[in-house]
Structure 1
Amino acid sequence: MLINRDNFSAFILKCHKAVKVFKEYSSKKFTFLFAVSFCLSLIISGCSLNTSVISASMPSFSIGQDPEKVVHIGHQKFGSLSLLRAKGDLEKKFNSMGLSVRWNQFPAGPQLLEALNAGRLDFGHAGETPPISAQAAGAPLLYVASSPPNPKGEAILVPKDSQIRNLADLKGKKIALNKGSNVHHLVVQALAKANLKYTDIQPIFIPPADARAAFEQKKVDAWAIWDPYFAAAEQATGARILTDATNIVENREFLFASQSFAKKHSDRLKIVLEEIEKVDEWAKSRPKEVAQILSPLIGIDAGVLEQVAKRRAYGLEPITKEVVAYQQRLADTFYRLKLVPKKIDVNQVAMVSDRKQLN
């Protein structure tokens, strides 16, 4: 049996069911051993596991712990949450309250919000586009804060010897991108800026690692990508920036809580946001130190991460009416292009504030 991304959730569900059933009749030690043995037996009996899927999607088990005392947080490579995980400040704060933190790393925002939709996360972050698709799919998410705009943090790249010189030259070309990620919005709006339709290009939907390979092998003509993958490709391949997001899209990062977590544990949510603000304040003047801390955690060269740290936006902003209106325009555009299955009202899942900054 091949366990891939499509049926991995079923695999994990079987493990959870095994734990639940046997926990009623046995000690915690036996329960743990049985769960491990059960999962291993599936693998040994012919399962071929995609390790990249496991590292990105497998939830942290908390057997023997009260689930009400565990906060599950998802993060992507780089960003405030990755740094908060590396520094350990949030764990110290929650541990003093009798709580613990479980972290899960994801390759991109869509996968992270899928986990939140499945009830595996309490909190996480993603760009502008993933929550549109997630809300359309019924995910119980809540926008709680955002970063300032960061248009320099994503771009459409072409090989250094490419004959593509401007956005109009993208007509008929293959563009690699992660479906539903922030760069999907960038591509749509960049084409509109060049008076091209979305149907004028051939979108190739592949995740960052595979897209990098396709780009280097020239199986695609261009690549829409975000930091830190963007900076890594620049340095490693000499890729040319056809355009970044400046004057095209804002490229915000949003922070999300599950609606149930925000309702039941507003005090914990407040602590998470406070700790993010603290780590951002610490990081904004220390790009080299940030890079050195994160490099071993996320497996990207410190020199690349230093470049990313220097050009990223820091701090948290509340979800204002203006931010919601921006997201609503994005949602309406994606519905018109049939990139999401139904119309949504962003205001229904936004913790709106008129404050200019979070307290």
Structure 2
Amino acid sequence: MLTKFFPTRLLGMAFAFLQRFQQRRIRTFSLLFAVGLSLTLAVSACSPSASDNSGTPQTTQAPSPATSNTTVRIGYQKASTVLYALKARGELEKAFAASGSSVTWAEFPAGPPLLEALNAGSIDFGYTGESPPIFAQAGGIPLVYVAYDPWSPKAEAILVPKDSPIKSVAELKGKKVAFAKGSNANYLLVKALEKAGVQYSDIQQVTLTPADARAVFERKNVDAWAIWDPYLAAAEAATGARTLINATGLAPNRGYYLAAKSFVDAKPDALKRVLDQVKKVSEWAKNNPSEVAKFLSPALGIDAPVLEIAEKRREYDILPLTDEVITKQQEVADTFYKIKLIPKEIKVKEIVWQGKLNK
């Protein structure tokens, strides 16, 4: 009995130690992101689900070392138009099939849990807005910026109810403003207040997810709401909300394609193949806003005409990170450090891919 029990006990102790270590790591990173996600959202994010092209849910497991050499793992969000469309069209699978490689997909509700999955080694490549990679870098996640999407400063704004007496950003002083903490809209709010001569600490900050913020905004429990498309377009259509200011001249509102450093180092050819296919779908989206709106409508639960408004005021492309783009992203990082959303200063240029996109 003893000879059988002793090894099992050692294994159990080792497993428990590793489990506690991983739990502490995830808790630390989750606190750093602090984006106002609900507990349910965070739990679902920690257990991402993948689906095949038919839409049937499947359990996604990290591939073994034996299969990782022939499998490219993509993390996506439904609101990330290009990757969602790339998955649905099956074109990436076709591009890799000739070399005997395969593709798996894992869906996430937001950028922060997507990047935690990248940190855990569950995915190789993904797309988020401008803020999540800043938090990820501050948290020590080994990721690389590989390209950017221009999106559009017109695709995010600070809204007020249609009958609100507030006419300028300066009038937000002392008022309740809803936004997702650590999001691109958070950055817009900071810069808009700064331009108007109002301290960030002079407003009543109400940090909520888009769905919760929409509810309190409609009930007029907040005075303003900083939000991005397509939620922006949906709120305008449903409530007649008035745009106080958009991000033009204040915030770039870009999106970024990101990859695990290990993937970039070990599989540069696979990375370029992924980016080639992203480029093709991006060009389709840029030239077909109506088709994109119809395609996204069932997945997002937003009417196609509303989505088309959002599509027509955003830009699509996949571009290399220039010094100008890196400088602007550094400004976002510096702003978040200044208002203590990240615990230390970071240098964005230290994690920018040095490879080149195919033309």
> How much does 1:331 deviate?
1.5
TM-aligned CA distance change 1:62 to 1:70, over 3 Å: farther
Instruction: Tell me if the contact between 1:78 and 1:298 (Cα under 8 Å) persists in the aligned partners.
Output: no
Provide the C-alpha distance between the structure 2 equivalents of 1:341 and 1:207, rounded to a whole number of angstroms.
22
TM-aligned CA distance change 1:307 to 1:104, over 3 Å: farther
Residue 72 of structure 2 corresponds to residue 74 of structure 1: no
Provide the C-alpha distance between the structure 2 equivalents of 1:194 and 1:268, rounded to a whole number of angstroms.
47
Which blocks of at least 5 consecutive residues in structure 1 are unaligned?
1-12, 18-48
Provide the C-alpha distance between the structure 1 equivalents of 2:336 and 2:42, rounded to a whole number of angstroms.
27
Aligned partner (choices 93, 96, 102) of residue 94 of structure 1? 96
Alignment of 1:1-359 (within 5 A): 52-53=41-42, 56-59=45-48, 60=50, 61-62=60-61, 66-76=67-77, 77-148=79-150, 150-352=152-354, 359=359
SS in 2 for 1:162: coil
SS in 1 for 2:244: strand
Identity score, percent:
53
Comparing 92-101 and 200-209, the one that deviates more: 92-101
Provide the C-alpha distance between the structure 2 equivalents of 1:190 and 1:108, rounded to a whole number of angstroms.
24
The Cα offsets for residues 67-124 of structure 1, whole Å up to 9 and x where unpaired, read as: 4433222223142112212222112222333333232333332332232223222111
Provide the C-alpha distance between the structure 2 equivalents of 1:329 and 1:98, rounded to a whole number of angstroms.
43
Q: Which amino acid is the alignment partner of residue 196 of structure 1?
A: V
Instruction: Tell me if the contact between 1:212 and 1:233 (Cα under 8 Å) persists in the aligned partners.
Output: yes
After TM superposition, what 4+ stretches of structure 1 lie above 4 angstroms from structure 2?
49-57, 62-65
Q: Which amino acid is the alignment partner of residue 171 of structure 2?
A: D
Question: What is the aligned length?
Answer: 313
Provide the C-alpha distance between the structure 1 equivalents of 2:358 and 2:101, rounded to a whole number of angstroms.
24
> How much does 1:221 deviate?
1.6
TM-aligned CA distance change 1:179 to 1:162, over 3 Å: same
Comparing 279-288 and 64-73, the one that deviates more: 64-73
> How much does 1:306 deviate?
1.4
**1:29 alignment partner in structure 2:** none
TM-aligned CA distance change 1:233 to 1:193, over 3 Å: same
Provide the C-alpha distance between the structure 1 equivalents of 2:307 and 2:339, rounded to a whole number of angstroms.
35
Provide the C-alpha distance between the structure 2 equivalents of 1:64 and 1:332, rounded to a whole number of angstroms.
37
SS in 1 for 2:346: coil
Provide the C-alpha distance between the structure 2 equivalents of 1:85 and 1:130, rounded to a whole number of angstroms.
22
TM-aligned CA distance change 1:119 to 1:164, over 3 Å: farther
TM-aligned CA distance change 1:165 to 1:106, over 3 Å: farther
Provide the C-alpha distance between the structure 2 equivalents of 1:288 and 1:275, rounded to a whole number of angstroms.
21
Provide the C-alpha distance between the structure 1 equivalents of 2:111 and 2:82, rounded to a whole number of angstroms.
14
TM-aligned CA distance change 1:143 to 1:352, over 3 Å: same
SS in 2 for 1:284: helix
